[in-house]
Amino acid sequence: MNNSFIKENKNGVVYFRCTEISTPNGFSTRLGGASVQPHLKSMNLGKNLGDDPVLVEENYRRMGQAIGFNEKNIVFTNQIHSNTVKYVVEKDIGKTYDCDGFVTDKKDVVLAVRTADCVPILLYTKGVVGAVHAGWRGTAASIQANAVKEMVKLGAKPQEIKVAIGACIHKCCYEVGTDFCDTLYELLGREFASRHIEKRGASVYCDLVSLNREMLVMAGVKEENIFCSDDCTCCNSDLYFSHRASKGKRGVMSAFISL
């Protein structure tokens, strides 16, 4: 059993908190929100999925109340499966940027990334936090390492950074195609990438968690400072929004962190 993630329930808002990170942080589930459409029920945090904006706003308010941040202070990503991690400060609050990760050293700034099978990654060290949306493209393009680099620019030491990897699609369910493998081999080298590819019968599966973990270690993060949720979103689609399990008809979750 994994003691690094605690399932919190605050007035029905169920989320997971990484206990190794000593600052407000949380990975939402699909429970405890106000959204009513069956596929968005109920904690949908996506603004462009056909949900009532008033309900989505209410969901962000509830997440802020549960985790302990002011939802008015969030900076939003317009996620584009890039490897871009942006440094944000107070003037960025409430804005949306074309990128897939943020870092900040400002106390009032709340970082958020959205996922529904992709890998949500939160990073913390004294005085600096980061949040990353790592789909397979971002993962292969080293977005996790870019987050570490941006944190180092703000004075962080990689060996002191703690990383929480939230629930995402695991290798039990993440079947991939040959084009996927070819791209991964090309970007990361066959030997390295193939450690995270598993053949089962005629099918091929990828382990995005172990891949991100190994790339973080290469970026200087200590293995023992990386904490991973045990949950596969696709296997647990009652608790999590899963793109695969729902065949794309779903809401979206969010991971939050602030100093």
Cα dihedral 132/205/7/61 (nearest 10) = 40
Only segment of 100-108, 130-138, 163-171, 177-185 that touches Zn ion (CB under 5 A): 163-171
The Cβ of residue 33 has, within 10 Å, a number of other Cβ atoms equal to: 27
Q: Measured from the CB atom, is 105 or 207 closer to Zn ion?
A: 207
Here's the x/- map for Zn ion, 198-237, by CB under 5 A: it reads as ----------------------------------x-xx--
Q: Is 6 one of the binding residues for Zn ion (CB under 5 A)?
A: no
Instruction: Outline where DSSP puts E strands in 60-182.
Output: 74-77, 85-87, 96-97, 101-104, 110-115, 119-125, 128-134, 162-165, 175-176
> Is 259 an interacting residue with respect to Zn ion (CB under 5 A)?
no
Find the shortest distance in angstroms from Cβ 46 to Zn ion: 22
Residue 232 C-beta: closest distance to Zn ion, Å: 3
| Cα angle for residues 23, 29, 32 (degrees, 5° grid) | 100
Q: Which is nearer to Zn ion, 134 or 221 (CB)?
A: 134
At residue 205's C-alpha, the angle toward residues 200 and 211, to 5°, is: 135
Closest residue to Zn ion, judged by C-beta, is 232
Determine the longest span between alpha carbons in the chain, in angstroms.
Answer: 52
Nearest distance, CB of residue 231 and Zn ion, angstroms: 9
Kindly list the residues in this chain that would bind Zn ion in the complex (CB under 5 A): 170, 172-173, 232, 234-235
